[in-house]
Amino acid sequence: MSRPLRLGILVSGRGSNFEAIATAIERRELDAQIVVVICNHRQAPVIERAQRRNFPTVVLVQMDFPSRQEHHFAMGRLLTQHDVDLVVTAGFDRILDAEVVRAFDGRIVNIHPSLLPAFPGLHAQADALAYGVRFSGCTVHFVSEELDAGPILLQAVVPVYDRDTPETLADRILEEEHKILPRAIQLISEGRTRIEGRRVLLG
Ligand code: GRF
């Protein structure tokens, strides 16, 4: 039997998506193990969340490195040292250095709070609201060198209401993120994803 997929999680803040992955593993809905959690902010709530669950947790802050690239290389080395099969950027607020993306080609997934290719970037929920769309949602995609543009694995749709604020919309989307991110990782763990050009075919 093959070993459970070894996950390295990159996260910047709250860590509710990290928690959703950890819970899915506990419930045996996801056949994977979290081997390292890397956080790029010293005060992020996720650090305590991850330590409480006894996951190896490393804080790597860009300020402590001579350059952005050195910071990202350090994260890449850590992922390699932990023999990570799949990197999950779950609420990670940086664009990974292209060299790190290439080193883990096809082995990095990201969760984004919009229906890509609509509303890439850091303010997806506010942008969706301002545009006036009636539906938004979330996307799990493989990470490519271009921001929020890699092949799409799974998406989920939520309605947008007149009374919504960016916060209420973000909460509704987040509930779906917590479902599709573990589900997407499970598809990868079962070897059911094949990237063909822009598309991910699910076997
Ligand atoms: C999520 O909405 C994610 O899609 C976005 O940032 C948020 C992170 O939330 N990139 P959390 O840290 O997982 O709670």
Mean pLDDT of the chain: 96
Q: Can you tell me which atom of ligand 1 is nearest the CA of 174?
A: 2
The predicted structure's pLDDT at residue 203: 84
Dump pLDDT digits (tens) for 41-71: 999 999 999 999 999 999 999 999 999 999 9
Ligand 1 atom nearest the C-alpha of 12 is: 12
Residue type, 134: R
State the Cα–Cα distance between residues 115 and 31, nearest whole angstrom.
Answer: 26
Percent of the chain's residues with pLDDT above 70:
100
Please tell me whether the overall predicted TM-score, pTM, comes out greater than 0.95 for this model. yes
Distance of CA 142 from the midpoint of ligand 1 (Å):
16
Cα–ligand 1 centroid distance for 103 (angstroms): 24
Answer yes or no: is the C-beta of 174 below 6 A from any ligand 1 atom. yes
15 lines ligand 1 (CB under 6 A): yes
Tokens 């990470």 label which residue?
143
pLDDT in tens, 109-153: 999 999 999 999 999 999 999 999 999 999 999 999 998 899 999
C-alpha 139/C-alpha 113 separation (Å) is 7
- The residue contributing the CA closest to ligand 1 atom 2 is 113
Amino acid at 146: E
Point out the ligand 1 atom lying closest to the alpha carbon of residue 46. Answer: 12
Of the residues 112, 123, 141, 178, which is catalytic?
A: 112
Closest CA to 182 of 54, 86, 117: 86
